[in-house]
Amino acid sequence: MLESIKQDIERLIARFESERQERMRLEDALSQSKARNEAYRKQITELEREVDNLKLTGAFTAPAGASDAAREKIDGLIREIDKCIALLQR
């Protein structure tokens, strides 16, 4: 009976070590996923900034016949800036 208990304990210890190693592997994978997620968020933010810059550039370099469209874009941007300023002043 004592030998059986000893074998059970050894099996439990081996199982515990296996589960501990699996947990460590999963924690590492989670950490790497979080790092990639943060990198993707930064990339998205940068790309959104580039899109905004391109829209603004497009507004200023519109063809001669599209001055009304350019004016509307600029007016829209000014309204957005005014809204942001108003929110910051609160």
Q: Tell me, what's the pLDDT at 59? A: 66
Positive or negative, the CA dihedral 7, 13, 19, 22 is: negative
Q: What is the pLDDT of residue 32?
A: 96
Full domain range(s) for residue 26: 2-89
Tally of domains in the chain: 1
Model confidence over 15-73: pLDDT tens digits? Answer: 999 999 999 999 999 999 999 999 999 999 999 999 988 887 876 675 655 667 777 87
CA proximity to 76, closest of 54, 55, 46: 55
pTM of this prediction exceeds 0.75 = no
